[in-house]
Structure 1
């Protein structure tokens, strides 16, 4: 004998609530009281209720699926936070009854081509976009095509279309690193960054410059305490060899760059304190003090703005994770 089909009405009766409350719990859980929501979810689990996605899409006009372009990386310059952000974003989506559709891309234009195809073929509700940069064409294309999207990263160009974004305050993170080194007695604190114009890198450079200015030190881009290189360990090692002789401590724009700086420090037999940015698995493995990006909070905020696009933009504070790569300045430093 075939068991009777479980419906919204069945769940409502078991939980002692209305059908609308069941619908709200499954589609807009934030508007339901926690005790009521728990009772409905318990009934859903007990009855093994599975709402019809097709019926829901017909009713709401939404697929409850967002797209995310997964970019290829070079072996010399891996993405230290990409995997963790994707996992956090997928977890946030699942908690709200959504899913993330991943697709592979190689560059901005390839990603735009996939946006065009997926809008027609997959009927996605929108896209999460990462690795924003100056003159980024993706946001302008999505805005002109009236495609909902939220970026992890600010619009770094004045010509960029206004859109919802979430970002980590890179300048504030570097200021934390400078403050940490200052407390350890360091006064000659360098910065190993990326070439000017990257947006993210410029923001972190400004954090270093402004933190030293606030302490009566006047560095600049031409300062012997500042060097720039590509985000690759070999390039960072070469740049750090010149920088380390002028300072007692260095703040690096990324953990990848910091790894190169630590290689140069070992080669030169120095004890320079080094701070990275990203708090990646590499930082954990080599004892690197690093600025941690709160990726779970970022992913939650991105997902919330995909669902509710009128929410204000969010700039999230990072934190400092102290490890053995930083220590008090030696006498005479």
Structure 2
């Protein structure tokens, strides 16, 4: 009976019991949980060992009322097709949840009401209910209404994508220009002098940056700068895009490499190359962008730019929590570099 009572008591241990077991004050235990950077390393280890041994569970609701922190990050989830999911944003969500969890935070997914397209009422509902400490916004465009709305509300936020100059610069973005320039450098180092680019028809800033990076790389390495080497995929018409790439591959002065703005565009290049009785990798090198799972399954496997989603997510969470805690935040956003993962499609 005594042993059973002890078990029940330890399962419901109090902060005072943890303090006694660790030989510290109640405030030190509180600091170890809420501000571990204030506690000496050996003391922190002793407190955490006592917490684990006694099975202490902090009262999260009481903590939230006391500190005003919900320890929850709101993420406005992009609309996606469950039968054809976007592997990039799925990977980003996984990375974001992990990064938040490492900081003791949860991620609350939300969207506008069914049938609605304006995200602002959904954002306002979370703010009014004090359900989140701040927001992560992705797929951010110039003049994005979500950014302008949360900035006016004075709520902490971070953006995956660059924000307009007149809004707070709490963003992290991929250096798309530098990534494509690095792709051209890779191809130039392998002896390619005539490199083509297959871009996306989507009018998106990151796609424009990739095209600019291609031009920068071509100029930097003294490659053929003919405008005919720059193609744009035909929207919603893969057959037309394949035909355009095939036309480019006719003749002795065909490009020996194709850099693309996305992995699906690289698949189009594969189809066009094979239709011309050429070999991917041996006759024409191909490089994708995003390094989606399909890249490893193609024949030959596709060289592609891998996005450092875990680093991006960690930086976003760090910058958001700095705002929540009232700590200094860098006055400008952060560009994160990415490099191609080399496979057999580049020979």
Tell me which residue corresponds to 2:209.
Answer: 203
* Aligned partner (choices 10, 24, 32) of residue 17 of structure 2: 10
Stretch of structure 1 that moved more, 77-86 or 295-304: 77-86
Shift of 1:305: 0.8
Kindly indicate whether the alpha-carbon contact (under 8 Å) linking 2:185 and 2:221 is maintained by their aligned counterparts in 1: no
Shift of 1:121: 3.3
Does residue 302 of structure 1 match 2:302?
A: no
Larger Rg: 2
State the TM-score, normalizing by the size of structure 1.
0.87
Kindly indicate whether the alpha-carbon contact (under 8 Å) linking 1:133 and 1:199 is maintained by their aligned counterparts in 2: yes
Shift of 1:25: 2.9
Shift of 1:197: 4.3
Does residue 21 of structure 1 match 2:28?
A: yes
Kindly indicate whether the alpha-carbon contact (under 8 Å) linking 1:77 and 1:233 is maintained by their aligned counterparts in 2: no
Tell me which residue corresponds to 1:315.
Answer: 335
In the TM superposition, 1:262-273 aligns within 5 A as 262-271=270-279, 272-273=284-285
- After superposition, the Cα gap between the structure-2 partners of 1:236 and 1:93, relative to the gap in structure 1 and judged at 3 Å, is farther
**SS of match in other structure, 1:166:** strand
Tell me which residue corresponds to 1:47.
Answer: 54
Tell me which residue corresponds to 1:130.
Answer: 138
Kindly indicate whether the alpha-carbon contact (under 8 Å) linking 2:194 and 2:224 is maintained by their aligned counterparts in 1: no
- After superposition, the Cα gap between the structure-2 partners of 1:75 and 1:190, relative to the gap in structure 1 and judged at 3 Å, is farther
Kindly indicate whether the alpha-carbon contact (under 8 Å) linking 2:188 and 2:221 is maintained by their aligned counterparts in 1: no
Q: Distance in 2 between the 1:124 and 1:236 partners? A: 45
**SS of match in other structure, 2:109:** strand
Tell me which residue corresponds to 1:225.
Answer: 229
Shift of 1:75: 8.0
**SS of match in other structure, 1:94:** helix
Does residue 149 of structure 1 match 2:157?
A: yes
Structure 1 runs, 4 residues or longer, greater than 6 Å off? 230-233
Does residue 281 of structure 1 match 2:293?
A: yes
**SS of match in other structure, 2:268:** helix
Shift of 1:51: 1.0
Kindly indicate whether the alpha-carbon contact (under 8 Å) linking 1:132 and 1:151 is maintained by their aligned counterparts in 2: yes
**SS of match in other structure, 1:67:** strand
Q: Distance in 1 between the 2:83 and 2:204 partners? A: 18
**SS of match in other structure, 2:344:** coil
Q: Distance in 1 between the 2:186 and 2:115 partners? A: 37
Shift of 1:119: 1.7
- Backbone CA RMSD of aligned residues: 2.7
Name structure 1 gaps, 5 residues minimum: 328-333
Q: Distance in 2 between the 1:35 and 1:10 partners? A: 19
Kindly indicate whether the alpha-carbon contact (under 8 Å) linking 1:132 and 1:152 is maintained by their aligned counterparts in 2: yes
Shift of 1:83: 1.3
- CA offsets per residue over residues 123-147 of structure 1, 9 Å max, x none? 2111111111233221111111222
Kindly indicate whether the alpha-carbon contact (under 8 Å) linking 1:27 and 1:97 is maintained by their aligned counterparts in 2: no
Does residue 325 of structure 1 match 2:345?
A: yes
Aligned length: 323
Tell me which residue corresponds to 1:241.
Answer: 246
Tell me which residue corresponds to 2:170.
Answer: 164
